[in-house]
Amino acid sequence: MKLAILDRDGVINHDSAEFIKHPDEWIALPGSLDAIARLSRSGWRVVIASNQSGLARGLFSMDTLNAIHAKLRREVAVAGGAIDAIFVCPHGPDDGCACRKPNPGLFHDIARRYDIDLKGVPAAGDSLRDLQAAAAAGCAPWLVLTGNGPKTHEKGGLPAGTRVTADLSLAVDAWLSED
């Protein structure tokens, strides 16, 4: 099975320091929807692994998050792609959960759901914690230079073997060419 794991904010859509709290605030990054569609058309399954501490912070409800994800899925579908599943950590930084990245809990959930070894599965993120969680789960970490990506790149300290691309579209080009 060909599987790709994507962070959401700053990879698929514009991120905001004020969080994405409403469907109207969810705006796709240029090329990201088409990139997902290219994966889908090539037989890949695309899943999202996303920290959404805004839930724990009381900034938005699960109903609102579901509405945001309905918009995301609709726009991906219009582009000709599909999101297989969305895995969310709803906790805050002080909750001590196993699923908030940099912990690999969401990735382990994905491995269980699909009953696969994540070794070498590409995982794209724009923050260090995305790459750390991916690497801890055995995925191949890819840093995209959208969202927090430029800051993450500048700070350094990336997990060994992290690949860097300008955006999701160029990452997908690489995945498909190695496919």
**Active site residue ranges:** 7, 9
* 7 contributes a contact to Mg ion by CB under 5 A: yes
Return the one option of Zn ion, Mg ion, none that residue 170 interacts with (CB less than 5 to 8 A, by type). none
99 binds Zn ion, rule: CB under 5 A: yes
Q: How far is CA 134 from CA 57, 63, 100, 120, 157, in A?
A: 25, 28, 12, 10, 14
Question: Is 9 labeled as ligand-binding?
Answer: yes
C-beta of residue 20 within 8 angstroms of C-beta of residue 28: no
What separation in angstroms does the CA of 86 have from each of 77, 89, 92? 15, 10, 18
126 annotated as belonging to a binding site for a ligand? yes
Residue 109 labeled ligand binder: no
97 is in an annotated binding site: yes
Whether the Cβ atoms of residue 7 and residue 124 lie closer than 8 Å to each other: yes
DSSP secondary structure code for residue 25 in this structure: G
Residue 53 or 164: the one with the smaller Cβ distance to Zn ion is 53
User: Contact with Zn ion (CB under 5 A): which of 38, 69, 71, 91?
Assistant: 91
Distance CA 45, CA 122 (A): 11
Site string for Zn ion, 61-90 (x = CB under 5 A): ----------------------------x-
97 is a site residue for Zn ion (CB under 5 A):
yes
Positions at the binding site for Zn(2+) = 89, 91, 97, 99
Binding residues (CB under 5 A) for Mg ion: these are: 7, 9-10, 126-127
